[in-house]
Amino acid sequence: MGKNRTIKILGNIIGNVVAHKIVVRHTNKPESVKRMSHEIEAYGNNAAELALESNWNDKDKLGISEETMKKFKKSYARKIS
């Protein structure tokens, strides 16, 4: 897998983690908290594995950040609607 593809995937995973953490913090459904907490852990483990596969320069880190924000905005907007 190419580095650009890895950046996109890593950004998506991190965006999901951030969105899930916010939803867990603000939800009133205990059953959602348990399920999402497990998803956060799984996403975090996937992100850690993927992040350790490459060396990241500043441009790569910026790309990951941009992809994370795109995914977060999509995910979070869907969950609060």
**57-76 tens-digit pLDDT:** 999 999 999 999 998 888 76
3-state secondary structure the chain: CCHHHHHHHHHHHHHHHHHHHHHHHHCCCHHHHHHHHHHHHHHHHHHHHHHCCCCCCHHHHHHHHHHHHHHHHHHHHHHHC
11-68, pLDDT tens digit by residue? 999 998 988 888 888 888 888 888 889 999 999 999 999 999 999 999 999 999 999 9
What pLDDT score was predicted for residue 48?
A: 94
Residue 13, φ and ψ in degrees, nearest 5: -65, -45
- Among 52, 69, 61, which residue's Cα sits nearest to residue 18? 69
Specify the pTM: 0.82
Domain ranges for the chain: 3-80
